[in-house]
Structure formats: structure tokens, C-alpha cells
């Protein structure tokens, strides 16, 4: 199978951004599964992860910040034949946290890839729901007022049947993404990555 990446809209992330790796691994999954663009729906919202739907020649739905899972659920109910893949950042996930709980409980056949880089990278590097309390972020000390959530732990507690965590740099991530997309039910992969434009600079990593 050929790549489903949009040749007229090549991927454009900050140099060193780990989102780039996830994008190509997801494209490889589609190729391995023999999927055509009209068999896939990419759903995203705001933020760097929200660019994913523009980089693929597939059906796409780009919605409000934090609401991608609600759109994806409705889409899957209306078109159960589609392979629905949702990309959200940790920022969007925190904004729409209740939607994650509902998606875990409903167990619709769709995949959520959480591109978790521990900050709101696109809007200035503010703290998100997963930011460590000791991190330096664009919103000052505010991340020290709240404990970060564990995405995988929350999803598992809410009843998601397929939950995994990986780093964008782990060798088995391509296989893990493919396993999640092939899974018949709701699958969540919490992918830890880096934000070189904001988080790495502020924390001198």
C-alpha cells in the first residue's frame, strides 16, 4: 500500500518534535492494514496534535478543543464501517476529561492516541493536566497547585479495555500503534513525547 500522507500538505512540526515520529508510525499502520483513505476518519481538535487530520488523505473532522472524542463517538455510530483514529494532546485531554471517561465506558471501536508532551505547546507552554509539579512552564507556579493525572491509569479505571503507554522513541511504538488501531473496541495509547519549542527550553533538557 502507498502512503496516505498528504503530499500537498507535508508535516510541519518544530524541529525535534516527537509528534513527527507518531505521524509516520500511524501512516505505516494504515499501510500495513491495507487501508484506503476512504476507510479512515481522522478526528482531532486544537493544538499541535490537531494538525494530524490535515496531513492525511483521509476523511477528517477538526473540532473544538477537548471535544474530539465526542465527535469521534458520533462518527463511529453513524459510520461503523470507518476506522476512526483520534489524536489529542494532553491539553485537549484535560479540557475534555469527562469525554475520556465516557468513551472508556461506551467502548466504541475507535482509537485514541494521546500525544502527551506535558504542556500546551502551541499556545505558549502553559501547564496541562499532565505537567509535573516541578516543571518550569509558561504559566508560572500554577502547575504546583494541582497534581498531574496519569492518563493510562485514569483510562483503565474508567473501563477502557485496551490501555497502553509508550515513549515516542521506544522501538516497539509502531507495533503498539498498529495493535491499538486493529483492536475491536476502545483503545488508548498514552504516548510520552517532547516539546522542543517550549518545554525542553524552559526546563533546560
Q: Looking at residue 6, what is its pLDDT?
A: 94
Q: Looking at residue 140, what is its pLDDT?
A: 73
CA-to-CA separations, 191 to 23, 160, 162, 163, 164, in angstroms, rounded:
12, 16, 14, 11, 8
* β-strand pairing of 83-89 with 40-44: parallel
C-alpha cell at 56: 492525511
- Separation between Cα atoms, residue 131 and residue 115, nearest integer Å: 13
In the chain, the domains with their CATH numbers are: 19-30+40-202 (3.40.50.970)
Q: Looking at residue 162, what is its pLDDT?
A: 99
Residue 159: φ, ψ to 5°: 105, 10
Averaged pLDDT, groups of 10, the chain, 205 residues long:
91 92 98 98 95 96 96 98 98 96 98 94 82 80 83 98 98 98 99 87 82
Amino acid at each position: 500500500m502507498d502512503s496516505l500522507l498528504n503530499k500537498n500538505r507535508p508535516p510541519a512540526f518544530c524541529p525535534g518534535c516527537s509528534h513527527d515520529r507518531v505521524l509516520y508510525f500511524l501512516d505505516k499502520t494504515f499501510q500495513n492494514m491495507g487501508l484506503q483513505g476512504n476507510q479512515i476518519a481522522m478526528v482531532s481538535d486544537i493544538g499541535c496534535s490537531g494538525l494530524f487530520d490535515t496531513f492525511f488523505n483521509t476523511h477528517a473532522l477538526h473540532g473544538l478543543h477537548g471535544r474530539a472524542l465526542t465527535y469521534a463517538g458520533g462518527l463511529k455510530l453513524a459510520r461503523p464501517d470507518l476506522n476512526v483514529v483520534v489524536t489529542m494532546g494532553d491539553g485537549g485531554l484535560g479540557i475534555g476529561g469527562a469525554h475520556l471517561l465516557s468513551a472508556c465506558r461506551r467502548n466504541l471501536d475507535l482509537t485514541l492516541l494521546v500525544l502527551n508532551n506535558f504542556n500546551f505547546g502551541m499556545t505558549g507552554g502553559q501547564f496541562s493536566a499532565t505537567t509535573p509539579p516541578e516543571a518550569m512552564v509558561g504559566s508560572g507556579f500554577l502547575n504546583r497547585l494541582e497534581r498531574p493525572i496519569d492518563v493510562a491509569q485514569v483510562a483503565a479505571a474508567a473501563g477502557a479495555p485496551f490501555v497502553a503507554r509508550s515513549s515516542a522513541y521506544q522501538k516497539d511504538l509502531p507495533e503498539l500503534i498498529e495493535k491499538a488501531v486493529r483492536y475491536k473496541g476502545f483503545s488508548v495509547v498514552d504516548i510520552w513525547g517532547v516539546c522542543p519549542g517550549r518545554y525542553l527550553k524552559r526546563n533546560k533538557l
